[in-house]
Amino acid sequence: MTSRRRAAGARIRPGGARQRAIRTAANRGAPTLDFPAQTPYDEYVGAETLHRLQRTVTDIPEERAFLVTTQIMELYFGLLRAEWLLVQRLLDGGDAAGATAVLSRSTRYFDGLNAAWGALGWMTPAQFNSFRDDLGEGSGFQSAMYRHLEFLLGNKSAALVRPHRRSPRVHGELLAALDRPSLYDSVLALLARRGLAVPPPGDPRAEYVPSQAVEDAWVEIYARGPGDDLHDLGEALTDVSERFTDWRYRHLMSVRRTMGAKPGTGGSSGVSWLERSLRREVFPELWSARTRM
């Protein structure tokens, strides 16, 4: 299969089995040590740039761990967004099996996201408070990429786009995401095309409201059993919902552990705000339908 190279990849020289065999023979099995410019690894990964991004605001050692963990989560958010947008395109094209495969692999990324919270489990309130004030009003609540995930999952809110209105590109992308159907909207549109009695789509900007008709549809789908493409899609969606809820719960517990019930740096009530967010279910009918199965 021929790979599709982006323009940005032009600086990386492609290779093949023959070139690798020649290099291995010339090096007598040792790795190549001389390159005409930057190492190919750094050309691809951008490691030098990545490591320059840890710009702490204090000289307190614990702050670096907090910053790196946050940046890792941002990268995972971007990866999940790309995967879920691919899922949406597959659903819109009628490929339920393909969408299920991508959803299933996306749940693996939550292993890294949830492990990131564990990496901060050693931080005591005293250690966090030693640099917390220096963060000013910075808060994970302001993450645009996280907001993209919430919008894709159907947790829409026009008000939550406002913090980004001073960043035209980011603000425009979030407004476009607010106006687009959510991933779950695409799921329900597929169910409707398959003849299931689900209600027509509503305002894409509105937060999703559970429907008895959608619950009935999932009960009907689950009666078909594993192997049916819509049944398997439902299970993959449930996995995503469960893992996303796990991440939100770990976020809540991490905040409780490091700062208790203090107000959040971004102006929220902190723990109580996170508790309210945790109560908002993702793909709610997939959970309520289980009582009737």
Q: What is the CATH number of the domain that holds 172?
A: 1.20.58.480
Domain encompassing residue 32:
16-49
Per the domain annotation, does 228 fall within a domain?
Answer: yes
User: 200 and 80, same structural domain?
Assistant: yes
Per the domain annotation, does 1 fall within a domain?
Answer: no
pLDDT at 272: 72
Per the domain annotation, does 10 fall within a domain?
Answer: no
User: 287 and 224, same structural domain?
Assistant: yes
User: 125 and 41, same structural domain?
Assistant: no
User: Please, are residues 83 and 106 in contact by the beta-carbon 8 Å criterion?
Assistant: yes
For residue 112, give both structure tokens: 């890294």
Handedness of CA 177, 183, 189, 193 (dihedral sign): positive
User: 139 and 35, same structural domain?
Assistant: no
- Number of compact structural domains in the chain: 2
Per the domain annotation, does 190 fall within a domain?
Answer: yes
What span, in angstroms and rounded, lies between the C-alpha atoms of 69 and 46?
18
According to the annotation, is 132 in a ligand binding site?
Answer: yes
* Percent of residues in the chain assigned helix, strand, coil, to nearest 5: 65, 0, 35
User: 253 and 205, same structural domain?
Assistant: yes
User: Please, are residues 81 and 65 in contact by the beta-carbon 8 Å criterion?
Assistant: no
What phi-psi label fits residue 94: left (phi over 0), alpha (psi between -120 and 50 degrees) or beta? left
Per the domain annotation, does 239 fall within a domain?
Answer: yes
What span, in angstroms and rounded, lies between the C-alpha atoms of 26 and 242?
51
User: 166 and 286, same structural domain?
Assistant: yes
User: 171 and 30, same structural domain?
Assistant: no
Per the domain annotation, does 6 fall within a domain?
Answer: no
pLDDT tens sequence for the chain (293 residues)? 445 656 555 567 777 888 888 788 888 888 877 888 888 888 888 999 999 999 999 999 999 999 999 999 999 999 999 999 999 999 999 999 999 999 999 999 999 999 988 888 888 989 989 998 898 888 777 899 999 999 999 999 899 899 999 999 999 999 999 999 999 999 999 999 999 999 998 899 988 899 999 999 999 999 999 999 999 999 999 999 999 999 988 888 888 888 777 766 665 656 776 677 667 789 999 999 999 99
Q: Which residues does 179 contact at the CB level (< 8 Å), separation at least 6? A: 204, 205
Per the domain annotation, does 237 fall within a domain?
Answer: yes
Per the domain annotation, does 162 fall within a domain?
Answer: yes
User: 224 and 91, same structural domain?
Assistant: yes
H-helix or E-strand spanning residue 217: helix 212-222
User: 118 and 33, same structural domain?
Assistant: no
What span, in angstroms and rounded, lies between the C-alpha atoms of 78 and 156?
18
User: 257 and 135, same structural domain?
Assistant: yes
User: 132 and 27, same structural domain?
Assistant: no
Cα–Cα distances (Å) from 63 to 66, 69, 269, in that order, read 5, 10, 23
User: 120 and 186, same structural domain?
Assistant: yes
